[in-house]
Amino acid sequence: MSTAIALPRSMEEWFGNLPKKLREWMEDRITPEDNYMRYMKNGKDFIDEHKIWRIIRENENPTPHRVRAIIDRALSSKECLEPEETAALLNVKDEELWKEIFEAAGEVKRQVYDNRIVTFAPLYCSNLCINNCLYCGFKRDNETIKRRRLSLEEVRKETERLAAMGHKRLITSYGEFPKLSDAYYVADTLRAIYSVKVKARKGWGEIRRVNVNAAPMTIEELEMLKEIGIGTFQVFQETYHHETYYKVHPLDTVKGNYHWRLYCMHRALEAGVDDVGIGVLLGLYDWRFEVMGLLMHSRDLEEQFGIGPHTISFPRLRPAANTPFVQEARYKVSDDDFKKFIAVVRLSVPYTGMILTAREPEYIRRDVLPLGITQTDFGSRIGIGAYSETYNKQELERQQFELGDTRSLDEGIRWLGEMGYIVSFCTAGYRCGRTGKKIMKLLKTGKEAKFCKLNAILTYKEYLEDFASEETRKIGEKVIQKEIEEVKQKFPERVYKKFLDCLSRIENGERDIYF
């Protein structure tokens, strides 16, 4: 590692880099239990850069026989691959072998998740931010951005619009700012979102699960959010490469501590949060290294807590106002390498959900969906108050980044239906206790796909009855008829009969029915 940047080795050194007011805010929040040093081994984190690059070099030119053996293990065990196995896949040069990897990635997804695609929408609640990330439109020094935090009434108004579209899941997003955008504000927004219910054609619209994408928090703060009903807690490391991390995240900010961020998922699991989500921002460093970082992160969580990431996300750098770094980035990921990244991650961490966002244009989403994607968003807007207000072109250009796909939820569901995907709005597992270690076991054995298939069809039926356009409804009903046939063939008769009864009850106006 280069010594051009002095990296903070402890929390004390980190605090020493912060401005006085920011240091006092952090010191007031953090307790001894939050110290990330206790998760380390001999004072070192689980990202050993020299070892990672050595493993990648030592596994160059893998034979087709070895690659196929690794594929077979991913298909049969559903456990994380060994680092050497993932490195071998990353080093494949033969295009025909890559085709086999792509096919295997899709098969792993079908075994674990069936042909379901879960949909969600982002809800940006605040763009107030003390950090100064070089690639982000919300960075502190970007004066072209209009700074704003939604009031709780505005949060409810945004939620009403989203629920009226038919959404059942949201991912809330916040800048990091003392007092105004902290864990207590996150808690208040969750309560506001869960309080909303709107009338639909037959039933009603409501948000049943709120995942949170926010800054790293303390154990006490995460325990509070757990009590309210947080879904998956997401924090992306952005890049696992230490020096690159510090180059794009200035040391005089809260985000300027690699380890405070790296171990936030450990704190979340210790706080009792059921599901955690990790991710990288592709384009900051070599994508092969980032695959290895995600694998190492997943393996360390499993080793220390017996549970890996519920989801992995992998957004690519996108243009944003006043962020020249994006145009100058030297590690931009091509479309071909993006496909390889997704397929290798799917085989390396077979049980995890994989999130593809509307950052990507339609043609990319079509190409990579078959490689193992389980979640995606439609109808997304990423401005503060953007669902309930009219945004002009200039305001849209001043968001955190540019979206690649702006189709509505109805258009997206119709598109997925045309390709034969069953769209799931299901949140039943989280209310039935199929979370955390329980869902990990079910995912690895393939049993969760059965529960989720039934509930996916039921929630899809809800959407078609309550929100879908006529054209989307016709396509969706064809998908449901095909799925009903599969249920009839693969499930016991008593389950099949109960399932048909549930569908009938939904047609008659009942809602939120699940197995």
Residue 258 has which token pair?
A: 């690699």
Structural domain count, the chain: 2
| 348 falls within a domain | yes
**Are residues 126 and 192 located together in one domain of the fold?**
yes
**Are residues 310 and 197 located together in one domain of the fold?**
yes
| 173 falls within a domain | yes
Residue 417 has which token pair?
A: 């239906």
| 100 falls within a domain | no
**Are residues 274 and 389 located together in one domain of the fold?**
yes
Provide the Cα torsion 227, 231, 236, 240; round to 10°: 80
* Beta-bridge partner residues of 312: 278, 354
| 330 falls within a domain | yes
| 153 falls within a domain | yes
In this predicted structure, what is the pLDDT of residue 403? 87
Q: How many CA atoms lie within 13 A of 55 on its CB side?
A: 22
| pTM (2 d.p.) | 0.93
- Domain boundary, last residue among 394, 417, 445: 445
Residue 482: give the domain boundaries: 448-507
How many Å apart are CA 321 and CA 401, to the nearest integer? 7
**Are residues 437 and 471 located together in one domain of the fold?**
no
In this predicted structure, what is the pLDDT of residue 436? 60
**Are residues 206 and 342 located together in one domain of the fold?**
yes
- Domain boundary, last residue among 409, 426, 445: 445
Determine contact, residues 66/38, Cβ cutoff 8 Å. Answer: no
**Are residues 413 and 472 located together in one domain of the fold?**
no
**Are residues 347 and 227 located together in one domain of the fold?**
yes
**Are residues 476 and 332 located together in one domain of the fold?**
no
**Are residues 433 and 475 located together in one domain of the fold?**
no
In this predicted structure, what is the pLDDT of residue 393? 52
**Are residues 301 and 408 located together in one domain of the fold?**
yes
| 197 falls within a domain | yes
In this predicted structure, what is the pLDDT of residue 299? 98
Please identify every stretch of the chain with a pLDDT value under 50, giving residue numbers as ranges. 1-4, 394, 397
Q: What is the pLDDT of residues 40-79, one digit of tens each?
A: 999 899 999 999 999 999 999 999 999 999 999 999 988 9
The residue to which tokens 């070192």 are assigned: 44
The string of DSSP codes covering 401-424 is S--S----HHHHHHHHHHTTPEEE
| 56 falls within a domain | no
**Are residues 384 and 474 located together in one domain of the fold?**
no
In this predicted structure, what is the pLDDT of residue 398? 53
- Domain boundary, last residue among 402, 419, 445: 445
In this predicted structure, what is the pLDDT of residue 422? 94
Q: What is the pLDDT of residues 450-478, one digit of tens each?
A: 668 899 999 999 999 999 999 999 999 99
Determine contact, residues 95/128, Cβ cutoff 8 Å. Answer: no
CATH number at residue 114: 3.20.20.70
Provide the Cα torsion 124, 126, 131, 132; round to 10°: 70
Distances (CA, A) of 461 to 231, 402, 453, 469, 479: 23, 32, 12, 13, 10
**Are residues 296 and 379 located together in one domain of the fold?**
yes
Determine contact, residues 387/330, Cβ cutoff 8 Å. Answer: no
Q: What is the pLDDT of residues 150-181, one digit of tens each?
A: 999 999 999 999 999 999 999 999 999 998 99
| 396 falls within a domain | yes
Residue 486, SS3? helix
Residue 172's nearest CA partner among 436, 382, 467 is 382
Residue 114, SS3? coil
Residue 230's nearest CA partner among 274, 174, 185, 179 is 274
The string of DSSP codes covering 418-477 is HTTPEEE---HHHHTT--HHHHHHHHHHT-HHHHHHHHHHHHHHHHHHHT--HHHHHHHH
How many Å apart are CA 293 and CA 371, to the nearest integer? 20
How many Å apart are CA 181 and CA 40, to the nearest integer? 29
Residue 241 has which token pair?
A: 């490469």
How many Å apart are CA 402 and CA 398, to the nearest integer? 9
SS (H, E, C) 1-37: CCCCCCCCCCHHHHHHHCCHHHHHHHHHHCCHHHCHH
Strands 198-199 vs 204-205: parallel, antiparallel or unpaired: antiparallel
Determine contact, residues 26/254, Cβ cutoff 8 Å. Answer: yes
Q: Is the dihedral of CA 331, 332, 338, 342 positive or negative?
A: positive
How many Å apart are CA 298 and CA 277, to the nearest integer? 10
How many Å apart are CA 106 and CA 108, to the nearest integer? 5
How many Å apart are CA 225 and CA 429, to the nearest integer? 19
